[in-house]
Amino acid sequence: MYLPVILLRRFGWLGFLAFAVPNVLGCAAFGYVLRPHTSQRIVQQHQPAMRWFSIVTIAYHMFFIPFFAATFVLPVPDIGGPTLEHWFGLILAIAVLAAAVIVSLLPARLWPVLAILTYAFSLAAFVQWGAGPLSDITWTGQSDPGQLAWMTPTIVFGFLCCPYLDSTFHRALRESPSRHSFAVFGLGFGVLILFTCAFAFSSALTPLVMGYVLGQSTFTIAAHLRELRQTPGTHPRFRHLAVMFALIALAVLSFASTAGGDGRLAGEGMYLRFLAFYSLIFPAYVLLFVGPGRPMQLSRRNVMAFGAAVLLALPLYELGFIHDRSWLLILPLVGLLAWRWAARERRNSETLDAAENVRSAQGR
């Protein structure tokens, strides 16, 4: 939820709406679009992609924590002097990872209690901070609103599609007593997005706000570690070791990128590049291979074509999000939609030809 901070600085409240509306609607719609049996089928058919979604999400949080520590002035304990302050972000990342591993092992009956406590703590932090700073946000920011108009379709595409690769969403759909729980989730999520906006323009944060960010990250990482452990696939011990080493290496990379006087800008660039997973790679996979409608087959040829398309689109995302040429972002989206439409038309044509051949054979 740091992306609304960036969008607020660039575009004011318009940037917030471009982030919040598709995000909340995408989360809430998940519970109404799918049925539990459909969710189970998707999980079974797309386990590798969902496993990578969880790994990337965990890595994303591990990158963010040192970046967060370099971006805001945090209450560093008065022990260890300047050395502790210099390494504080990396220490926080490793501590969050260790706590998340422990939490991921808790029995299922404790998770609802843990979720309630995490959200209650978040609300307490919001109350302590207050909503007053929201009144200082304007409807315009540092950048031309026209850039946001080009970005919005890509933002909508990502937030509407990504939930379908999130195994924690699928678990919630199968285990919740009502699909309306996702509407409640969407509203609750919207409150926390507003909280993020409340401290978007601050330089120093209180211990309670820092605890809110770290608590949310711990809960999210733990939930995805739980799914990785319970999803069939590669050998669990090898998978967990690989993930742990990858996350620690990523935390080191994050710390290195955010150290120094220009740390916030360097880290923000990496943050935006990380979003390519959620605005291009994962939503494109959902569009092509999951749905809506009858998806493309997960054949080697189609997967290789998908990989090539992603590689071709990545430079456009770099130019669009990092170098202010946002009009280029529309090109990959149009290309993906055209590809999906062409594949559907070809499949329909093949179906009609097959039916015609059957009728001809019956006539003979």
Residues 364 and 347: their CA atoms lie apart, in Å, by: 26
25-40 pLDDT, tens digit per residue, is 998 999 898 888 889 9
Residues 52 and 30: their CA atoms lie apart, in Å, by: 20
Of 329, 314, 268, the C-alpha closest to 2 is: 268
Domain positions in the chain are 3-273
Region 296-311 average pLDDT: 90
251-271 pLDDT, tens digit per residue, is 666 666 555 555 555 678 888
Of 141, 118, 194, the C-alpha closest to 12 is: 141
Cβ atoms of 51 and 43 closer than 8 Å = no
Q: Which of 67-71, 87-91, 239-243 has the lowest mean pLDDT?
A: 239-243
pLDDT of residue 334: 93
Signed CA dihedral, 30, 35, 40, 41: sign only: negative
317-327 pLDDT, tens digit per residue, is 999 988 889 99
Q: What is the percent of the chain where pLDDT is above 90?
A: 39
Q: 238 burial class (0-12, 13-18, 19+ CB within 10 angstroms)?
A: exposed
Contacts with 36 (C-beta within 8 Å, 6 or more apart), sequence order: 173, 174
Cβ atoms of 75 and 211 closer than 8 Å = no
Cβ atoms of 130 and 251 closer than 8 Å = no
φ and ψ of 73, to 5 deg: -85, 115
Query: What confidence tier does 78 reach under pLDDT thresholds 50, 70, 90?
Result: low
Q: What is the DSSP letter of 322?
A: I
- Among 177-181, 233-237, 243-247, the range of highest mean pLDDT: 177-181
pLDDT of residue 351: 58
Q: What is the percent of the chain where pLDDT is above 70?
A: 83
Query: What confidence tier does 214 reach under pLDDT thresholds 50, 70, 90?
Result: very high
264-300 pLDDT, tens digit per residue, is 556 788 888 888 999 999 999 999 999 777 888 888 8
Q: Is the pLDDT at 51 greater than 70, yes or no?
A: yes
* Identity at 288, one-letter amino acid code: L
pTM confidence score = 0.88
